[in-house]
């Protein structure tokens, strides 16, 4: 786990994680109780400037039993103040990565993202979306290049967006609005996120699991 804190990046974290056990946690009835191995790379960024969006990317490989394995992951963006040009650039980068899975992949994974990151009790999506995928099974040699393309697309496009927004002047009222908006991010991660639940249920590093949480939040 690595964490950055400063005057521009209020809190950002990156995890390289591996976990294994004899009993896959009861979040997946089909695989519960089987021996498993899981590994992944994730990153999350919370900027001090409310005009700079929250960004999140995660890719992972899970193996259950003797042979069964699948890939999962995705990337999404949660701005407090949304800019259409930022949203388009972000989605275009992910669309190009999805082309490795075929012409229909981006539409499918984008819709999956909106459904997954829907905050039920707020009746709203968490941000402006991105892509989300899970249980991608098949040839490792065919799927892994796509997973790498998703990570590389995020690493390329998201810093460009932050560079444009990190120095915009903002008011105390706009900073206050950001702190309340972050509450929705925290609510989803603690109430619904499968990755957070999986980490808790497999005895992972608690600080690493919660590195995605915003540094300061208000309700």
Which residues partner with 13 through β-bridges? Answer: 3, 44
Question: How many CB atoms within 10 Å of residue 119?
Answer: 15
Contact 55, 77 (CB under 8 A): yes
As a whole number of angstroms, the distance between CA 136 and CA 203 comes to: 25
As a whole number of angstroms, the distance between CA 125 and CA 1 comes to: 28
Identify the CA nearest to 130 among candidates 162, 89, 164.
89
The verdict on whether 46 is a catalytic residue reads no
Contact 91, 129 (CB under 8 A): yes
Contact 86, 165 (CB under 8 A): yes
As a whole number of angstroms, the distance between CA 33 and CA 215 comes to: 35
Contact 197, 27 (CB under 8 A): yes
Question: How many CB atoms within 10 Å of residue 50?
Answer: 22
Query: Hey, which residues are catalytic here?
Result: 56
């Amino acid at each position: 786990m690595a964490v950055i804190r400063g005057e521009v990046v209020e809190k950002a974290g990156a995890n390289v994680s591996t976990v294994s056990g004899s009993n896959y946690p009861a979040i997946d009835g089909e695989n519960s109780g089987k021996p498993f191995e899981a590994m992944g790379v994730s990153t999350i960024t919370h900027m001090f400037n409310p005009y700079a969006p929250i960004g999140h990317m995660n890719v992972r490989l899970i193996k259950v039993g003797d042979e069964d394995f699948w890939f999962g992951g995705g990337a999404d963006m949660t701005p407090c103040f949304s800019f259409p040009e930022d949203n388009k650039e972000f989605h275009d980068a992910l669309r190009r990565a999805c082309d490795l899975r075929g012409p229909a992949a981006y539409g499918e994974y984008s819709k999956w993202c909106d459904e997954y990151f829907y905050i039920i009790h707020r009746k709203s999506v968490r941000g402006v979306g991105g892509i989300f995928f899970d249980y991608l099974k098949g040839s490792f040699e065919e799927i892994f290049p796509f997973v790498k393309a998703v990570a590389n697309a995020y690493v390329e496009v998201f810093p460009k967006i932050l560079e444009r927004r990190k120095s915009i002047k903002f008011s105390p009222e706009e900073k206050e609005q950001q702190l309340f908006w972050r509450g929705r991010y925290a609510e989803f991660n603690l109430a619904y996120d499968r990755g957070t639940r999986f980490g808790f249920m497999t005895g992972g590093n608690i600080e690493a699991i919660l590195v995605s949480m915003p540094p300061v939040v208000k309700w």
